[in-house]
Amino acid sequence: MEPLPLAFLDDARIRAWRTIKRLPKNSSFLFDTVLRLHQVGLGTSEDWYDEVDQRALSNVYFEALHNVAAIQFEEAWNATVTSGPQGREMALMYRVFAIGMAVFIWGSIRQARKRFGLAVTQYTCDPVFMRLRGLLEGPGRYHAWPRGKSLEPVLATLMYCVESCDYHDAWRGWLMDALRTAVDMMKIKNVEEFRKILNAYPSTDGYKEALDDMWAEIITGNMVATPNLMFSGPQ
């Protein structure tokens, strides 16, 4: 098994620091996990796929999954958030983003397998979406959501979840409504700003290709069935 190229590791590390800088202060406990998510995204990209030993990358998947599970269980942010409404908003943000990181890993595996003609196991994200809805529709509903830049991880999570849904999935309408609410709260005016924010978070070629059509659906309220989104939906 070949080690991951140094240039690849440096690229992922730079991207990970950019993500962490967009999160609230004292979010450094997320760095190792975010780093592995960027490695997953880069390792499946056209730029790096042929340069990376996929056996080595498979280890990154396992490490990322382990880290995300540990983050959700340990809730390390409890040592950093303050009491009161602002602390509750930050805790909500971290809980939602932890869900999003898990969905990102699952979606990346599915996209990579489809892209290279491999079988894709069909399974449901319903329990994940139920937990996400429970968090976002809890006491205060959107009034209790984090504000400003701290809403970005929620936006990224909702994007990962929408991309993971089949067109006829019963959850897709709720997820799109929540994504639209986040866009409105952040006062995002155009697809360029939408892309700029989301590209600062772990991504893949598949997620990036979906953003234009997702934005069109946010603006018009009509689902856009294009090859990009059709390509990335579950089979």
pLDDT at 188: 95
* HSE-up (13 A, CA, CB side) for residue 20: 20
Residue 189, pLDDT score: 94
Q: What is the pLDDT, as a whole number, of residue 235?
A: 28
Residue with tokens 């979840």: 161
Q: What six digits make up the tokens of 87?
A: 């602390």
Q: Average pLDDT per run of 10 along the chain, which is 235 residues long? A: 90 97 92 96 88 89 94 92 88 96 91 69 80 90 89 97 85 94 95 96 94 92 48 32
pLDDT confidence of residue 110 = 83
pLDDT for 31 equals: 97
Tell me which residue of 123, 220, 132 sits closest to 175, measured CA to CA. Answer: 132
Domain boundaries, the chain: 6-232
Angle of helix 152-164 relative to helix 85-115, nearest 10 degrees, comes to: 30
The end-to-end CA distance of the chain, in Å, is 31
Q: Which of 46, 49, 47 is nearest to 57 (CA)?
A: 49
pTM, to two decimals: 0.89
CA distance 164 to 162: 5
Residue pointed to by tokens 């059709």: 230
